[in-house]
Amino acid sequence: MNKIKNMNINTATTSTTIKPITTDNLHATAQCSLCLTKFGRSEFTKTQWKKPPKKKKCKACTAKLSTGSNERKGSTVVPTTKVTKITNINMNQRPQRNVPGFEGNLTCCTDWPQTKRGEPPNAQSAVFNPLLACCFGPIEGYSTQEQIDTAFSWWSAALPSWPRWVKTLKEAGVVNRKDKLLQRAKGRPNPLIHKAKGHGTVPHIKGRDQSAALELDAMVSIEVYACVTCMYSTAALDAMEEEEQKEMLQESKPKLCEREKK
């Protein structure tokens, strides 16, 4: 009997335990601070429910804010697209200098951007690929005929022999290699106009294929290499010319003194 009494007491004690009512109760309501509507607990996220009354936001209003729109304020989302800034290019005639070894027959511009080392880069794709593109004509997805024509004029101003090189390479059959060279192209395309955006590009033809295409005419290949070397060596050549002029002035001074004495 004592055991039974003890069991009854424990059962009674357990059954009288009642959990306190909290704000997480499903029957509780709260007002959204945006739409000013009262909702039950299920219409608020756990994070929003814990916030002070003036900062609570219902699930619907939170979703609208996350997409960048707020119907209560009447704002809308305006899609944005990335716009490529077109580089302004100079189509005027460029200052020229004679290419060493080809004086009187071959010139190149003197305002070409110089490298930090003052030497030509290891690869000359920036010049060779546009030259081949001018031979090939428009390339779908890369350049139009109008862009090719603009590039042709721009390069002709920088390198006056450009039109002759294009004509000679075409006559040598470089166009017949177009499909093969483009299929083998790999890497980042080169701009048709050096460091210019929005004026067309040309697939990055492999270095060996570039050389092989230019060497279809040996003289064109030699002249192009000579011009590229000269363009990237402008600073060094200018320094050499200044030194030569100083030496000539120094040599001429004694002769002038002798003449004056006489």
For 235, the token pair is 């600073």
Per-state percent for the chain, helix, strand, coil, to nearest 5: 50, 10, 40
Question: Do residues 182 and 172 lie in contact, with contact meaning Cβ atoms separated by under 8 Å?
Answer: no
CA distance 36 to 54: 10
CA distance 211 to 160: 21
Residue 128, number of CB atoms within 10 A of its CB: 23
Residue 254: predicted pLDDT: 65
User: In a 10 Å sphere around its CB, with 0-12 CB exposed, 13-18 middle and 19+ buried, how is residue 5 labelled?
Assistant: exposed
CA distance 240 to 247: 11
Nearest to 59 by CA among 83, 79, 30: 30
Q: Which residue has the tokens 């955006």?
A: 197
Q: What is the pLDDT along the chain (262 residues), one digit of tens a residue?
A: 444 444 444 444 444 444 444 544 556 888 888 888 888 888 889 888 889 988 888 888 888 776 654 444 443 434 444 556 899 999 998 999 999 999 999 999 999 998 887 778 888 999 999 999 999 999 999 999 999 999 999 999 999 999 999 999 999 999 999 999 999 999 999 999 999 999 999 999 999 999 999 999 999 999 999 999 999 988 777 776 667 666 766 776 666 666 666 5
3-state DSSP assignment of residue 257? helix
> For 87-215, where are the alpha helices, taking DSSP H only?
125-136, 145-158, 162-171, 178-184, 207-214
User: Which strand (E) or helix (H) includes residue 62?
Assistant: helix 59-66
Residue 31: predicted pLDDT: 87
User: Residues, the chain, total?
Assistant: 262
Residue 253: predicted pLDDT: 63
Question: Do residues 44 and 25 lie in contact, with contact meaning Cβ atoms separated by under 8 Å?
Answer: no
